[in-house]
A and B are shown apart, each in its own frame.
Chain A
Amino acid sequence: MRKGHRKPGVHTRIALQQFRKVFLIQVVSLVIIAGVLLLHSLSAAWSSLCGGLIFLLPGYVFVYRALVVQQTKSTPGAVIRQLYTSEIWKMGLSIALFIAVFILIQPLNPFSLFGTYIWLQLTGFIAQLRLNNSFLKL
C-alpha cells in the first residue's frame, strides 16, 4: 500500500460499488444515445459523445480523489478539505473540457451536446436515488 493511503472502510466500499453501477449505466446510455444520433448526423453523434465525456471524466476524477485516495487522518476538517478539493478539481476539469470542446470541435451540435449532458445528469440522479435506500426513507 502506498504511503499516505489506507484501506477504504465499509461505507466507502459501498459508495464505490454504487458509483461503479451508476457509471456503467451512464456509459451504456451514452453509447446508445451516440449510436442513435449517428443515424441522424455525424456531428450530432460526435457532439453527444463530447457531452458525455465532459460529464463522465470529471465525475470519475472526483470519485477517484474523494473516495479512492484515502487520507491517513479522518478528522472532519480533513474530510471536508479532501471533498472540497475534489469538487474544485471536478469543476475546473469540467470548465476546461467545455472550453476545449467549444474551441476545438467544429461543427458542433449544441442540442445533442447539452441534451446528452443533462440526460446523463438525470440518469445519475435517478440511479443514485434508487441505489441509495436511505434517501428513499426521507
Chain B
Amino acid sequence: MEMALLYIAGALMMGLGAVGAAVGIGILGGKFLEGAARQPELIPLLRTQFFIVMGLVDAVPMIGVGLGLYVLFAVA
C-alpha cells in the first residue's frame, strides 16, 4: 500500500509539473506567433525574449519532476 502511494505521489508530481510546463510554453509559443504575425520585422527580438522566458517557465516544473523522480527511484 505504501509503495503504491509513493508511486501515485511521484506520478502526480511529474504529471502536474508537465501540465504546468505544457500550458506555459504553449501560451508562450502562441504569443510569439501572434507577435511575429503582427510585426515580422521584430522576429529576432521576439526570439531572444522567447528564449529567455522559456528558460524561466520550465524551471519550476523541472523541480517537481526532479522530486517525483527522487520519490520513484530513491525512496520507493
Q: Which residues of A contact B (CB under 8 A)?
A: 9-12, 14-15, 18, 54, 59, 62, 66-67, 74-76, 79-80, 83-84, 87, 90-91, 94-95, 98-99, 102-103, 108, 110, 114, 117-118, 121, 124-125, 128, 132, 134
Give which listed residue, B21, B33, B52, B60, contacts A80 with CB less than 8 A.
Answer: B33
Q: Once bound together, how far apart are the Cα atoms of A12 and B47, in whole Å? A: 8
Q: Once bound together, how far apart are the Cα atoms of A79 and B55, in whole Å? A: 15
Q: Once bound together, how far apart are the Cα atoms of A121 and B66, in whole Å? A: 13
- Chain B contact residue count (CB 8 A cutoff): 32
Q: Once bound together, how far apart are the Cα atoms of A10 and B49, in whole Å? A: 13
Which residues of B have CB within 8 Å of A91?
21, 58, 62, 65
Q: Which residues of B contact A (CB under 8 A)?
A: 21, 25, 29, 32-33, 36-37, 40, 43-45, 47-52, 54-56, 58-60, 62-63, 65-67, 69-70, 73-74
